[in-house]
Amino acid sequence: MVSHRNLRKGLFTFWALLLTALLLFAGGCLGKQTADVAVRGGSGAKEPPKAAPEARYKLYLITKDQGTPYWQQIDAGCRQAVEEMGDIAYKWIAPLNHGAKEQGACVDQAVADGANAIVISAISPTEINENLKKAAAAGVKIVYVDDDATVEGVASLKTDNVLAGRTAGETMQKALAAAGIRSGTIGLATMGMHQNQMERDQGFRETFQGSSFTVAPTVYMNNDRDSIKHFVRENPDFVGFFGANGQTTFAISEQIKESGSKQIVIGFDTADFTMAMIQEGVIYATMQQNPRQMGHDGTVIAVKALKGEYKETNVRVSMKVNVITKDKI
């Protein structure tokens, strides 16, 4: 028979564990257990090595979420560099709800956990600056990938998004010419007013200046995929659409396929759905970034900075995109 004393003790332990879990959840950061890895000596093994508590450096990857293939590719690149360089304890965390406040909490969490370096894609150029300043003041090396903040870091590895937008525009022009379309209106959608997508928007529009084509005002998805599908559905006379990121590409092509219309679609990034839509002929082409390389090279730079081998600061590393069409899959 269980004594009242032991029962009370068991209940206390249960509620203490529950409270701890709730406090961790409230912090707003998601950290996958499978993303934790520590390496010493660079084993080169295919499976993540077992944790090595004696690892010299602790590095955190902080992205905008963990649910999309793009961020998973950045994580894969970080892991590759961790295995190659060795002596690194590594963890990947991200906001639960794609919010700046929550990402700031992730930065604070990494610092509190003793991170020596943070590789981060900033949700906002300014909204997590105070968190990043505290990290820098604590001696943490900051390397940006994909999107940066205005707080100075060691380096920023980003797609040249204006060039990427121009490449998308030139690809659209090529597809329109091949279809015998010489004038008309083109729809453009982005996830929101994020710097990288605003630059893609800029580059895309530049290619159509002085042409017989008009690029319609930008429509913002703001986490509402149906709004983009509605935009496509309500404009059957448009000759083409450009989705400036993976989510808008998904929504545009999904609606085009459902309606059976034949507008030219140019997308961004290479999610499985996007590649399938290219093979089916719904999407003409997509712009392929190099997120794995960003993660890999960003990690290498961060660790070299910790070792004193990389002394530059605020270095800009521009990365091009590849045009993926059906014949390249």
DSSP 282-328: S-SEEEE--HHHHHHHHHHHHHHHHTTS----SEEEEE--EEEEGGG
The model's pLDDT over 6-52, given as tens digits with 9 standing for 90+, comes to: 444 444 444 444 443 443 444 567 775 334 444 333 333 345 545 44
DSSP letter for 263, please.
-
* pLDDT for the residue numbered 29: 79
203-227 pLDDT, tens digit each: 999 999 999 999 999 999 988 999 9
The pLDDT assigned to 313 comes to: 94
In angstroms, the Cα distances linking 245 to 55, 64, 122, 174, 305 are 37, 14, 16, 20, 31
In contact, 171 and 182? CB cutoff 8 Å: no
Q: What is the pLDDT of residues 236-265, one digit of tens each?
A: 999 999 999 999 999 999 999 999 999 999
Q: What is the pLDDT of residues 124-179, one digit of tens each?
A: 999 999 999 999 999 999 999 999 999 999 999 999 999 999 999 999 999 999 99
Three-state DSSP at 92 gives strand
Confidence class of residue 5 from pLDDT cuts 50, 70 and 90? Answer: very low
pLDDT at 232 over 50: yes
Is the CB of residue 122 less than 8 Å from the CB of residue 144?
yes
Q: Which domains does the chain have, with CATH numbers?
A: 27-153+291-312 (3.40.50.2300), 161-288 (3.40.50.2300)
pLDDT for residue 195: 81
> Residue 223 and residue 276: Cα distance in Å, rounded?
22
Write the CB contacts of 184 (distance below 8 Å, at least 6 apart in sequence): 176, 213, 214, 237, 238, 239, 240
